[in-house]
Structures are given as structure tokens and as C-alpha cells.
Amino acid sequence: MTMRTSIILCAIVCCTKWLIAQTDTTFQSSNLPIVIIRTNGQSISDTKRIMADMGIIHAAGQQRNSVTDPWNGYSGKINIEIRGSSSQQFPKKSYGFETQDSLGNNRNVSLLGMPEENDWVLYAPYADKTLLRNEIPYYLSRAIGRYATRTVYCELVLNGIYQGIYVLMEKVKQDKNRVNISSLDPSDTAGVDLTGGYIIKMDKPNGLEWQVGVNSLYGFDKSLYEYHDPDDDVIMPQQRLYIRRYMASVESSLVSGNFTDTVNGYAKYLDVPSFVDHLLLSEFTKNLDSYRFSFFLHKEKDSKGGKLFAGPMWDYDLAFANYGENAWEQPWLTSAWNANIAAWHRSYWMKRLLNDPNFVQKARTRWIQIRHGVLSNDSLLSFMDSTMKRIEEARIRNFQRWPIIGVKVWPNYYVGATYEQDVAFLKSWITGRLQWIDVELTGGPITKNTERPVTTHTFDLEQNFPNPFNPTTQIRYRVPAAGRVTLRIYDLLGRTVVTLVDQEQPAGEYTVRWNASSNAAGMYIYRMEAGERNSARTMLLLK
């Protein structure tokens, strides 16, 4: 044996012993993916990102994942920071990170089946003891055809210490597989190129917020906006000026006397169906932060419609009666309209829209439609049950690591003695809230006797509509039993163009939307798999 070989073997043995010493021996394997992060002696903060090593262990099929398995889901560098606002008070931290190469350049990768990108979030459910409050609205938004961040439950080991259940999820940003609007490049400073590719949000003041010059009719303070993508560091002066002026025009249309005019009122600027969907899901969840914090808006270029869309949905820690009080029978927008509205710069947009009878009718029609599908009691409770079953083993470990069951943690309104009691409260609240909105919008409850039956005994992938299309189309499908469902679009060479669905879903009927504005004209194939069943169809994009 050569001297060099001896040194290498010694290094391997020493490294192995160090890894064993740094591993929490109480956690060895999981049915969920395992994420391992090593910061190499550095502390993670919320002020400056640090470079770290990350590995993801994700076995195929029904095999378990072990902490000693190879890093087959990802193995490489990341930069990482603590993220969140109120959640930073919790001992279990959420993190934002970027996947990078060894030189610190951003590296687009697919993590746990999600489309390639470099910006990611490791969300730490803590005060939500059901571990479901964020998962439900994201799932519902995707199911009704609106993008929401894709999510995958996992378990995290940080510097050898087990951290419990986390949710790996996509960060909100412009991307053909995320917020699918045109990119806004630094060179886009004039003409139609200047008019779209913006993601802005209403959020807590951070020193970078701005206001438009229009007060609401209700005498409250001006809404605060922030540049999100492009962010404040890179957005060009011409782009700042354009989006400020555009938002001023939107607000002027909302407070004008003819705001309901379908040509020159708010409908000139807003994609009304997206605001209907955002309102219904936000009101269903009774989210305290609705329309004021993490309220995202995005605008496409004028050459592609130019409208302002609501969404995507984000941050539901305070939803479903996790804060304040448990009453589900509360007036519309109660969660966003109280005595402190001016102090917190809450938006008046949704309340103004509800003053338009035409908007209310659209909301009524849409509510009935989604209550016949994914928002039916059976479908939603089935989704919750299947999700809880999938995370059951990890959930027990999580609450051994963080023993807060039966303990009041801010902002908990209800504190169950067991996990099962927390879930029972959530289910009861949800069914009560659904029925209350039924009555408010339709005059009576939508029950099994009045619902259109959801077809659950057949497997079906319908032809997209419209077809041919330009640039958006919808795909409807049905699955007969709960399980993993994938829906992907391919080009004629068999290359994956986009993954529209890749998640556990309960039996039921679903609709997804594809915006192909960034894709070339031509024939495409879409294929769905659910369990052992699969089906494929073709569609034609014309431009």
C-alpha cells in the first residue's frame, strides 16, 4: 500500500467517523425524502446568506430513505438564509436557499420532481400543529387552474441534528413553470417590452415599499407595494416608473364613479377571473393576512393581454382559525377589515370589487362550480386524510422533536390535547365555513343532494379546450382513487416541456391551465399517469 493510498483511506475513515458523530441517532430513516444540510461551522442568519452543502435522499417507488443512503436527489452547494417575519420568533426556522455550483453561480436543478430552478424555500410548519394549513390552499389553487407553489413534505437534518417535518417548496418568481409571464430584462425599457413581466406584492414595510397616489373611497390609508420580481436591486428606472403609473391607473379605475364599466372601469386593467378565484379561496380560508401581506399581483406584457392578475397565493399560517377566534360565520372580508386597517395599509381592492353586482355574480357562479369539484366536502376531507396518512410517521417524530401538542403557541386560538383533536377542530371549522359561504352566495347550503356528483369511478383525460389554442388552454381529467397523479406536456421529440401536475390527489375531477405564451407553435402531447393507468392526447398551439 502506497503512502498516498494510506492517507486517502485514513481520511475516509476519519470523515466517516465524523459523519456518524454528527448524525442524530434517533432519526435513521423515513418514508419521506430526507434533506441534509451542513454549514461547515457557520451560523445561518437572516441578514447574509452563507454557502453550505446540501444533499437530498429520495428513494424510488416504495423504498424507504435512510440517512446513510447516497445523496441521489441533490448533492451540491447552496447559499442559505433564515426567512420569514413573525415566524422568526419560533425555534424551528424556515429557510430560503439557492442551488449553486462550486463557484457560487446559480444552478438550475429539479428537486424532488419539481421543475428546474435555483430559488427554493424550506418552510417550517410550527405554530400550525395540523401541518396542513398552507398545504390546503396551495393544493386548491393548483386544482382550480391557478398556479401556486409546488410543495413536497420532507424531513430535515441540519448539521447532524434532526429538525422535524419541513416542506420543500418553490419560491414565487417569474418562470415558465412558476408565474408564467414574460421575463422583464434590464434592456426592456421602452415600447411593448416595458409593459409586462412584473410581480409586485403588498406586504409588511421593509424600507423598499412604495405607494401610489390614490386613496380609497373609504378614507383609509394608501396601499403599500413592493417590487418582487424584478426586485428593487435590479429593476430599471423606466420599469419602476411604468409599473407605478400602471398601478395608479388601476387604483384610479377602482375609485372612479364608473368603476363597474366593462370597457373603461377596472375590467380594463384586471384579469377578473383571477381576482374571483383569489377572493373565494382567501375568504374560504379566512386568512388574517389576506389582501395586505404576501398579496401577490403579476402583470403580463400588452402583446399578451396586458392584464393584472391576482396571485399566486402565499402564506396561510394564520388561516383556518389558527389566530384570533374560531367563528366561521363571519362577514366577507372580516379578516382584512378592522379598526387597524389604516395602520396596516390594508388594500381596499376586494371590498370595492364586491360592490359590483357583476363581480358578485361571477363569484357566485365560480363558487358553485368549484364546490362541485375539489371544494366539495368529500373531496377536500379526502385530500386532508390522504396527506395526513402520508406524513403520519414523520409527524410523530416532528412532535417528539418539538413537543408543542397541548401547548399554546402564538398565534393558536384552539389548543387540542392531541394531534387528532387539532385536526378534528380544523375539519369542523372547514365544513362550517364552506356551508356559511354556500348560504351567503347562493342562499342555501350546497349539500350532497344539491351537488353535481363528482365522478370518482372512472379514469379519464379529456381533450383540452380550446383546441387549437393561443396561448392558453385548459385540461380536465378525472382520477378514480387517491394516489400520485402526474400530467406532463411533451414536444414531438418526447422531451418534457412542462410538468403541470405531480402530486398526491384524492379521487375527483380536476382542471389545470397551461399558458404556452413562451412556447413555439406546433403540435404537443400531454400525458397523464395515475397509479397503473395512463392516457395521452395531442393538442395544437397556433401563433
**CA 80 to CA 212: how far, in whole Å?**
34
Region 207-219 average pLDDT: 62
**CA 351 to CA 338: how far, in whole Å?**
13
Question: What size, in residues, is the chain?
Answer: 543
Give the Cα-Cα-Cα angle 274, 167, 147 (nearest 5 degrees): 15
- pLDDT class for 474, splitting at 50, 70, 90? confident
Region 140-148 average pLDDT: 95
For residues 298 and 333, the model is more confident at: 298
Please check whether residue 138 is in contact with residue 313, taking contact to mean a CB–CB distance below 8 angstroms: yes
For residues 14 and 312, the model is more confident at: 312
Q: Which residues contact 17 (CB under 8 A, 6 or more apart)?
A: none
Domain boundaries for CATH 2.60.40.10 within the chain: 460-541
**CA 407 to CA 411: how far, in whole Å?**
11
- What pLDDT does 331 receive? 62
Least confident of 41-50, 154-163, 489-498: 489-498
3-state class of 81 per DSSP? strand
- What pLDDT does 204 receive? 81
Q: CA 477 → CA 457, 458, 462, distances in Å?
A: 12, 10, 6
- pLDDT class for 323, splitting at 50, 70, 90? confident
CATH of range 460-541; options 3.40.50.2300, 3.40.50.300, 2.60.40.10, 3.30.365.10: 2.60.40.10
**CA 445 to CA 493: how far, in whole Å?**
50
- What pLDDT does 337 receive? 42
Region 20-26 average pLDDT: 46
SS3 letters across 112-146: CCCCCECEEEEECCCCCCCCCCCHHHHHHHHHCCC
- pLDDT class for 335, splitting at 50, 70, 90? very low
- pLDDT class for 447, splitting at 50, 70, 90? low
Highest mean pLDDT among 21-30, 417-426, 458-467: 417-426
- Count helices and strands (H / E) in the chain: 8, 21
Region 31-52 average pLDDT: 96
pTM over 0.85: no
Closest by CA to 341, choosing from 226, 433, 216, 212, is 216
Q: What percent of the chain has pLDDT over 70?
A: 87
- What pLDDT does 213 receive? 54
> Is the CA virtual torsion 42, 43, 49, 52 positive or negative?
positive
Q: What end-to-end distance do the CA atoms of the chain give, in Å?
A: 67
- What pLDDT does 153 receive? 98
DSSP labels, 324-348: S-------TTGGG-STTTTTTT---
For residues 497 and 1, the model is more confident at: 497
Closest by CA to 163, choosing from 190, 132, 123, 209, is 123
Closest by CA to 144, choosing from 334, 313, 329, 347, is 313
**CA 278 to CA 371: how far, in whole Å?**
15
Mean pLDDT of the chain: 87
Give the Cα-Cα-Cα angle 426, 429, 435 (nearest 5 degrees): 140
Closest by CA to 58, choosing from 81, 19, 20, 30, is 30
- What pLDDT does 325 receive? 60
**CA 195 to CA 308: how far, in whole Å?**
11
Least confident of 326-340, 358-372, 416-430, 460-474: 326-340
- What pLDDT does 115 receive? 95
Neighbours of 319 (CB within 10 A): 23
φ/ψ of residue 22, rounded to 5: -90, 0
Please check whether residue 488 is in contact with residue 526, taking contact to mean a CB–CB distance below 8 angstroms: yes
Q: CA 312 → CA 11, 299, 538, distances in Å?
A: 49, 12, 28
**CA 437 to CA 447: how far, in whole Å?**
12
- pLDDT class for 21, splitting at 50, 70, 90? very low
**CA 246 to CA 349: how far, in whole Å?**
15
**CA 114 to CA 132: how far, in whole Å?**
20
Residue 42 pLDDT greater than 90, yes or no: yes
The grid cell for 509 is 375531477
- pLDDT class for 359, splitting at 50, 70, 90? very high
- What pLDDT does 328 receive? 61
Helix axes 377-401, 419-442, angle to 10 degrees: 150
Closest by CA to 294, choosing from 470, 1, 87, 116, is 87
Region 245-269 average pLDDT: 93
